[in-house]
Structure 1
């Protein structure tokens, strides 16, 4: 077993390889090296210090959870910089989505005839939509949120995330397909809530 003291001399790439095999000491070393930097970056983007701490914790939890498939390409500094950016965008989009869905549900429900036996349980629909959206792959979810909650164009999303417009289109297509499969005949109603 590796001496604990020797972890601090390992490179990020060496630690990344050790993390993939479940080496907790390697993970702890990465945590020690980058926690403060991540917190400062998150705090710079979000005014709430508690939320900034939550963002950092979530990023490290996600890293550990996905460790077996983790691959470091450009170093942890770059990886964490992108992770903070995505996590902040996700949180802002989530708040925006929650407010928007609440408004849409109120407008939608007021237009439905209360006496009809087909009246939908809008809270349930909202929960089902939220659960369906939440299980989208991370990048797909981010693209979907930027498009439908922030109102970004495909070009703006491509520029924001530094990916090709075709990739943006593919993520959006995947998100729509997932929602349609999950909701079946409710997909058309889901469209009106999410502006698909």
Structure 2
């Protein structure tokens, strides 16, 4: 029975699979996975040169699709939709790798600190973690634009090329991100960001 069902889904178009997925059809989801996981894995592995991370990203993309199955909106080919989803996951992975490398470099170069310096570092880490949690809650494009701009130092033109959007869209998403963070952090927003910048520049 299962094999007969799966062979039936083999004949479905991508659009039909998406419609079935919206009704929590696990067989449709499984067919989408089998139809596209190799392509997704190849894209991630080629971009990151790390097979283990690529495999994790494939699982993340499909987990996101299942979690958003009731509201998923695929405008255009499913292949293109999945490629864009993977592109954002790859960018996220690169950002995480970049932050880890930068943190390890600063830690390696940091001399033995006095007690007050350690207290400052603890305070800095708390502020940075608070901001990171709020940034993680931003809408996906706003979060990526903010991270590329404020954390990686990319110019608007570079971000636009990286995300394949216009510079106007970059400005919009950055404005949206900063506005959201300012509202959620209140008056301490600019003090927090300035404090992070000044403290980080000393290491």
TM-score by length of 1: 0.83
* Rounded Cα–Cα distance in structure 2 between residues aligned with 1:194 and 1:76: 41
Partner of 1:134: 136
Instruction: Report the CA distance between 1:99 and its aligned residue.
Output: 4.8
Alignment of 1:21 onto 2:23: yes
Listed as ranges, the gaps of 5+ residues in structure 2 are 199-203
Instruction: Report the CA distance between 1:92 and its aligned residue.
Output: 0.8
Instruction: Report the CA distance between 1:138 and its aligned residue.
Output: 0.9
Instruction: Report the CA distance between 1:98 and its aligned residue.
Output: 4.4
Listed as ranges, the gaps of 5+ residues in structure 1 are none
Alignment of 1:193 onto 2:179: no
After superposition, residues 98-109 of structure 1 pair within 5 angstroms as 98-100=100-102, 103=106
Instruction: Report the CA distance between 1:101 and its aligned residue.
Output: 6.5
* CA deviation vs aligned residue, 1:131-155 (integer Å, no higher than 9, x gap): 0111011111111122123322112
After superposition, residues 136-175 of structure 1 pair within 5 angstroms as 136-175=138-177
* CA deviation vs aligned residue, 1:171-190 (integer Å, no higher than 9, x gap): 11111122222222331222
Partner of 1:40: 42
Instruction: Count matched residues.
Output: 189
User: Which runs of 4 or more aligned residues in structure 1 lie more than 3 Å from their structure 2 counterparts after TM superposition?
Assistant: 97-104, 117-120
Alignment of 1:75 onto 2:77: yes
TM-score by length of 2: 0.80
Q: CA RMSD in A?
A: 2.9
Match of 2:178 among 172, 176, 179: 176
